[in-house]
Every structure is written in C-alpha cells, then in structure tokens.
C-alpha cells in the first residue's frame, strides 16, 4: 500500500510517496518559496529529477494541486489514480496536550490542530490549509495527523512544568512540549534494533543535531525529558537560535538595542546560535572550513554547541540514573564526526569509550563506541517521513481505515 507523506512548512511543502510493502520511497519532492517570487517544485521519481522553476503556485492550496498533478503525470508520476494512495500522513508541528499519539483526521482533530495554531502560528494554520486541500482532492482517502510534540506527552509534571505560577500552566498552557518527536521515536526504535535489545529495558539519550537541535531522555521507551520547551527556541545553542538564556536578557536587549519584543524574538530565532557566535555561518560545514583557515570564533561557536550538548547528556544520565546508549542523528549528528568527537570526549567517568576510527565517517548508521564501552554510542540515520508513514499505517490499521482500492 502507498502512503503519501506531507510536511508543510510556512513557505514550503515536502512530500514522499512510500510503498509500505517494502518501505521504498517511490517519489519525493519539495515545493519551495510558496507565495514568494520564484516558487520551485522539485520532484524526484524513477531515478530522475523534474524541476519546475518559477511555477505558478500562489499558495499551499495550489501547491497540493501541483504535487498531486505531478504524482499522476504520465511522464514523472508514480501512480495512475489517486485511489492508489492508501492513506495520507501529515506532519503537524503542535498537538498541544490533546495528542499523545498520531490521530485519524476527523472534524474534531482538524479543529484541535486549528486551535493549537496559537502555539505554533507559523506551522499549524498552514497544515490546516494543506489538509483541507487534500480533502477536496482525495475525498475518500483516510488522513492521519502525526504530531511533533506527541512523543513527549509522557513527560512527568516535574519535567514539563516551568517555575512559573501554576496558573501559567492551567490558564495559558505554558509548559514544556518538546519537538522533533518523530525523529526521537525513530532513533529509539532503531537503536533498540541495532543493540538487539528490547525498547522496554533501555535508558537512551537521543540527540537530534541539525539546524534545529534537541536531546531527549528516553527511559523504557518513554520520553521523560527533552531540551526544547514551550517553543523550539529552548535548549541547545542551534544554527541560528540562542537556546537556553536568562529571560532577563530580553528586556536588557530591548533597552540597549532599542528593539521591540518582535524584534528581539526574531533576533533570538534567526540572528543567534552558532551563526551569531561565529559571525560566519549557521552551517557546521562552513564553520569547520573557517576553523581550518584559523578563525577562532568559528571554533568557539562549535565548542559552545558541543559543551551545551554534553551538559544535557550529563543531566539526563542523572535524570534516568544511568544510560545504556547515546544516539546521534540529524544533519550534524549523522555526518559531523568532529562534533561527535568533541561531545563524547572526557566522558570516561560514564564508561563511554569511543572507537575513533569508527567515528570517522559520515552518513553511516553504526555503533561508534568500542565493544568494551559501558555505554554504547551510535549513529542513526533518522527518517521522519518513514516514521510518519509507519504511524499513519498503524493508526489506519487500528481503526480499520485504508483506502479500499489501495490494499
Ligand atoms: P539538518 O537541519 O538536519 O538538515 O542539519 C543541517 C546541519 O547539518 C548543517 O549545520 C550542516 O552543516 C550539517 N551537515 C549536513 N551534512 C553534513 C556533512 N556531510 N558534514 C558535516 N555536517 C553536515
């Protein structure tokens, strides 16, 4: 059966068509710069790329129409009719406290996604538009929402509550939600498989290190803490985001830089992190190039990033009273062996022993600790789309809803 996976960003729409029999990607693509001049549709299928530059796509609604048309096209398509799509899985940024699992999209779920738009204003409203567009074109196809926050709904109150007054939580829903849930869940499943152990007996620290980064403490398969919070701004120093800071800095910046609150929040999201520290780039490949040329601030930025990750690892070992494996994923976690090396050095007290030769590789899923290491350290090539497709299939099978012609 084919599952169509849709991931809508504020000005983009990523998609994959996955044949779930063998878990093979039949087609993938992205529409970028939606609603901005120079909209592009890039589609990959049957070993070929199709790129439409300056596509006439005005909004997410038209983006869905263009993608479905491409999937059906005789030249580049991979399906002959929309009935060959068994179900659609949507990545949804925020499920609030309502969703601790993926959910079949009915009117109530759609309404809840709409209401959670307050917590994710750049993402949830756009997802609603995309879901409605798919519903118009694929009237009978079951649709499932897979939430970035759902995996972390198991956090105990001592981990999800901030030290604010309790009514900030009860009245305003201010709490730690956590994000990248689909990736953390995938890492947990893959790590257990690679270790040949049962998820239910493992203490794992999963590090999703990319442009946005987060770490989770996962005990017996359950997320018990995570670094991102009310929004994805909390936690590590990231590509352009500041991560954890003293909240009093906000007012100080407003006064000293004569900024309004929107200006400060924009700065904290887009002008900080390793970009702000280095003054060079948010991309770790660029940072290492600058380091090679002797740029000290790029090295400092990398060190701040790695130190922050290491501190979180230490705190999660304490939170779980131990750890069996530390798992790396994301663009940096999967590829940047320099960063993995810096994060895991001087962790001998924990029993971490890295095999430097094994660590020296990019984009390979494997264990990078020595066989004697008390704590396994591993690289997992995360696959959020596949996880969304699996969740979609799982929900559809549980409620007995799969497109009748696609089985
Ligand atoms: P993501 O947001 O997961 O796509 O990750 C983006 C980050 O991964 C950027 O900082 C990239 O520099 C880094 N990255 C991606 N590929 C590589 C690579 N081959 N080597 C080192 N870093 C990489």
Residue 116 CA, ligand 1 centroid: distance in Å:
30
3-state secondary structure of 207: strand
Atom of ligand 1 nearest to the CA of 363: 19
Residue 210 CA, ligand 1 centroid: distance in Å:
6
Residues of the chain with confidence (pLDDT) below 50: 407
Q: Which residues of 110-129 are buried (b: 16+ CB within 10 A; e: fewer)?
A: bebbeebbebbeebbbbbbe
**90: in domain:** yes
Residue 146 Cβ contacting ligand 1 at under 6 Å: no
* Atom 19, ligand 1: residue with shortest CA distance: 335
**48: in domain:** yes
How many whole angstroms separate alpha carbon 64 and alpha carbon 82? 13
Yes or no: say if 39 and 59 are a contact pair by the CB < 8 Å rule: no
Q: What is the pLDDT of residue 175?
A: 98
Edge-to-edge strand list for the sheet holding 13-19: 48-52, 40-45, 24-32, 13-19, 2-8, 85-92, 143-147, 103-104
Query: How many domains does one find in the chain?
Result: 2
Q: Does 203 lie in the same domain as 115?
A: no
* Atom 9, ligand 1: residue with shortest CA distance: 283
**181: in domain:** no
What is the DSSP annotation of 320-359?
HT--SEEEEEHHHHHH-HHHHHHHHTT-GGGTB-B-HHHH
**153: in domain:** no
- Domain extent, residue 231, equals 197-384
Residue 359's nearest CA partner among 343, 375, 337, 377 is 337
Q: What is the pLDDT of residue 402?
A: 64
| pLDDT tens digits, 158-203 | 999 999 999 999 999 999 999 999 999 999 999 999 999 999 999 9
Active site residue 101: no
Q: Does 354 lie in the same domain as 209?
A: yes
Atom of ligand 1 nearest to the CA of 209: 3
Distance from CA of residue 217 to its chain's centroid?
16
Last residue of a domain, one of 128, 147, 166: 147
How many whole angstroms separate alpha carbon 358 and alpha carbon 13? 36
Residue 28 CA, ligand 1 centroid: distance in Å:
20
Residue 285 Cβ contacting ligand 1 at under 6 Å: yes
Q: Does 221 lie in the same domain as 304?
A: yes
Q: What is the pLDDT of residue 401?
A: 72
Q: Does 205 lie in the same domain as 62?
A: no
Mutate to test the pocket of ligand 1, among 285, 362, 364 (most ligand atoms within 8 A of CB): 285
Q: What is the pLDDT of residue 171?
A: 97
Atom of ligand 1 nearest to the CA of 285: 12
Q: Does 366 lie in the same domain as 260?
A: yes
Residue 238 CA, ligand 1 centroid: distance in Å:
12
Q: Does 225 lie in the same domain as 355?
A: yes
Atom of ligand 1 nearest to the CA of 212: 2
How many whole angstroms separate alpha carbon 394 and alpha carbon 107? 20
Find the catalytic residue in 49, 59, 148, 295: 148
Q: Does 207 lie in the same domain as 135?
A: no
**311: in domain:** yes
Q: What is the pLDDT of residue 55?
A: 84
* Atom 14, ligand 1: residue with shortest CA distance: 331
Assign 3-state DSSP to the chain and report helix, strand, coil percentages, each to 5: 40, 20, 40
């Amino acid at each position: 059966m084919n599952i169509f996976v849709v991931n809508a960003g504020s000005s983009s729409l990523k998609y994959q068509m996955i044949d779930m029999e063998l878990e093979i990607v039949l087609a993938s693509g992205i529409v970028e710069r939606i609603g901005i001049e120079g909209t592009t549709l890039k589609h990959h299928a049957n070993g070929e790329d199709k790129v439409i530059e300056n596509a006439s796509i005005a909004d997410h609604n038209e983006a869905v129409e263009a993608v479905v048309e491409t999937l059906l096209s005789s030249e580049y398509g991979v399906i002959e009719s929309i009935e060959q799509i068994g179900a659609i899985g949507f990545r949804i940024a925020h499920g609030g406290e309502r969703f601790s699992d993926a959910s079949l999209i009915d009117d109530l779920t759609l309404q809840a996604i709409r209401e959670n738009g307050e917590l994710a204003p750049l993402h949830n409203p756009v997802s609603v538009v995309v879901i409605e567009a798919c519903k118009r074109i694929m009237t009978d196809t079951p649709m499932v929402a897979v939430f970035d926050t759902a995996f972390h709904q198991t956090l105990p109150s001592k981990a999800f509550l901030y030290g604010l007054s309790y009514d900030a939580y009860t009245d305003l829903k201010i709490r730690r939600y956590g994000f990248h849930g689909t990736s953390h869940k995938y890492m947990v499943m893959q790590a257990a498989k690679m270790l040949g152990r049962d998820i239910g007996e493992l203490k794992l620290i999963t590090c999703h290190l990319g442009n946005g980064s987060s770490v989770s403490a996962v005990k017996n398969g359950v997320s018990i803490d995570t670094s991102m919070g009310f929004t994805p701004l909390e936690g590590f120093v990231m590509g352009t985001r500041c991560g954890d800071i003293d909240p009093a800095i906000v007012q100080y910046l407003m006064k000293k830089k004569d900024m309004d609150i929107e200006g400060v929040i924009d700065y904290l999201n887009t002008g900080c992190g390793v970009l702000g520290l280095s003054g060079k780039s948010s991309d770790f490949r660029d940072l290492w190039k600058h380091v090679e040329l002797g740029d000290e601030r790029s090295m400092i930025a990398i060190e701040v990033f790695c130190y922050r990750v290491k501190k979180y690892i230490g705190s999660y070992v304490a939170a779980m009273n131990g750890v069996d494996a530390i798992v790396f994923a994301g663009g940096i976690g999967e590829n940047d062996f320099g960063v993995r090396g810096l994060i895991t050095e001087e962790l001998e007290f924990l029993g971490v022993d890295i095999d430097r030769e094994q660590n020296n590789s990019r984009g390979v899923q494997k264990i990078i600790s020595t066989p004697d290491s008390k704590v396994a350290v591993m690289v997992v090539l995360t696959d959020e789309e596949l996880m969304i497709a699996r969740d979609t299939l799982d929900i559809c099978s549980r409620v007995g809803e799969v497109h009748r012609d696609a089985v």
